[in-house]
Amino acid sequence: MIRRLRGPLATLPALALAACAVGPNYKPPVVQPDAKQPFVEGQASTMLSGQPLPDKWWEMFQDPALDRLIQDAFAYNTDIRVADANLRQARGVLLQQRAGLFPTTTVSGQYSRNRTGVDSLGAQPGAAGAIPAGVDGFDYNLFQAGFDASYEVDIFGRVRRSIEAAKGDEQAARAQLDAARITIAASVAQAYADACGYAAQADVARDTARLQGDTLKLTQRLLDAGRGTRRDVDQAAVTVEQANAQVPQLEAERRAQLYALAALTGRPPAEIDGEAQACHIVPKVKTVIPVGDGATLLARRPDVRAAERTLAADTARIGVATAALFPSVSLLGSVNSTGTKGSQLGTAKSFGFSVGPLIQWNFPNILAAKAQIKQARAGTDASLATFQGTVLTALKETESALARYAAALDQNAALGRAADAADDAAKLSRIRFDSGRDNFLNLLVSEQDRASARSALAQSDQAVADAQVSLFKALGGGWENAPPIANAAPGAVSGNPSVQRGSFAVPVSQKSN
């Protein structure tokens, strides 16, 4: 049995518990009060409210296909899987640092066959009471079993500060995973809206070509009847072909967005989503959008949380570097049992032990430690500036998105009125032309105006959807209650069931919390 520690050794554990960790204690940075106020751009709009943003903002578009695509992206997108792997790696580092709170133990066992020569014993064979003549040495077995333990007495807080730093890194990695989810959700929504928008613009171009094709046929009949001119026919043909020329480019852009959707949801380009391909109506939020205020924005945005947690981790690293200025104290202990027979192991006569402190101190050469402290302080200053810049960026992006959204709504409303007026004017010109009260040039101009107004309105519908998605992205929501993530690395998670995903077989991993 190991005897109880007495004297100075007995005070070391108590000293470790009573000691304070060196280095600064972290205090969250103070955000200016005006940064937490209602948004400047949101106060004058009737399409915005101060209510909290819903977790799944994309459901406000009321499009089941979009809901499904975003859920697929959350499960299979490669950027999200990378962020999830980084989080699991940070958790591993945190577990490693926490292991410093416990003793390091080693269990050993050894057997050896040994020979000791007589010369090494310092005795001559044949001497009285010594080694018999003719004996060159002795052969024997040696059995050994041991248990070694060492424990760092964290007097100056090196271990505790290391755990603080690793915990901050882990929490920052978690926030970065949330940020990846926000970015991907917005990218999916924007690609889907753009695919629908380009399809709608192509439909407008086809409809315009059809209407102007009717005008071309009319002018051709008038020419055949001797009432028109070749110039009128050619001008009508120009407007038809101009409308037709827009369709291939719009279709190409639509397919490009469909390919982007496939990649975002973990599919190869050949696997275009059928519902997205069939969409020809731009999804738009037609209700009031809840945006909250600056305080809820800064608490929700993952990039702000990640910057604050990185600042906390870097502050703790100052303590880790400062602890190198002081001696480290470890308690060492070992228990061993040695015998020439296996049956002797564990007996009182084979038992031995040792226990005592180990003090190490890099003194007087502490220049390297001081240099590391300077580096850690500079890193913390940079992290503080990064946090402050992230806060300003979050507010700037949100205010800018609100301003652009308001402008997109006003523009869309004006273009809607213009499209209605241009449609009425074109119908009137057709009636007047058919009755002989107007010339062909006026009819042609009115139909070109109608085509331009319809095209501009279709582009504006797409711009409104894009502005809404950009606003939701700036508000920083959508990472809450995310579904589990699928890991596409074969064999990365042994024993988990596989899900066939396009041309990839992906074992399903657990969601990171």
Residues 509 and 488: beta-carbon distance below 8 Å: no
Q: What is the DSSP letter of 483?
A: P
CA Rg, the chain, in Å? Answer: 38
Q: Write out the DSSP string of 426-456.
A: HHHHHHHHHTTSS-HHHHHHHHHHHHHHHHH
List Cβ neighbours of 226 (8 Å cut-off, separation of 6 or more): none
Q: Write out the DSSP string of 146-201.
A: EEEEEEEE-SS-HHHHHHHHHHHHHHHHHHHHHHHHHHHHHHHHHHHHHHHHHHHH
Question: Which pTM value belongs to this model?
Answer: 0.82
Q: Which residues of 68-91 are buried (b: 16+ CB within 10 A; e: fewer)?
A: ebbbbbbbbbeebbebbbbbeebb
Q: Please list the alpha-helical segments (H only) found in 63-157.
A: 64-76, 78-98
Provide the sign of the torsion angle of the four alpha carbons 402, 406, 412, 413, taken in this order. Answer: positive
List Cβ neighbours of 335 (8 Å cut-off, separation of 6 or more): 2, 146, 147, 351, 352, 353
As beta bridge partners, residue 356 has 332
Peptide bond just before 28 cis, omega within 30 deg: no
Tokens describing residue 286: 């037609």
Strands 289-290 and 48-49 turn out to be parallel
Domains of the chain, each with CATH number or no CATH: 49-102+156-325+371-482 (1.20.1600.10)
Residues 486 and 459: beta-carbon distance below 8 Å: no
Taking CA atoms, 465 is separated from 82, 194, 203, 214, in Å, by: 29, 8, 18, 33
Quote the crossing angle between the two packed helices 367-434 and 440-475, to the nearest 10°: 150
User: pLDDT tens, 160-217?
Assistant: 999 999 999 999 999 999 999 999 999 999 999 999 999 999 998 888 888 778 777 8
Per-residue pLDDT of the chain (513 residues; tens, 9 = 90+): 334 444 444 444 444 444 578 999 999 999 988 888 989 888 777 888 888 889 899 999 999 999 999 999 999 999 999 999 999 999 999 999 999 999 999 999 999 998 888 777 766 555 555 677 677 778 889 999 999 999 989 899 999 999 999 999 999 999 999 999 999 999 999 999 999 999 999 998 888 888 778 777 877 877 777 777 788 788 878 888 888 888 899 999 999 999 999 999 999 998 999 999 999 999 999 899 999 999 999 999 999 999 999 999 999 999 999 999 999 899 999 999 998 888 888 888 888 989 989 888 877 678 888 999 999 999 999 999 999 999 999 999 999 999 999 999 999 999 999 999 999 998 998 888 778 787 777 777 787 888 889 889 999 999 999 999 999 999 998 888 888 888 654 333 333 334 445 444 444 444 455
Distance CA 193, CA 459 (A): 11
Distance CA 361, CA 327 (A): 4
DSSP SS3 for 116: strand
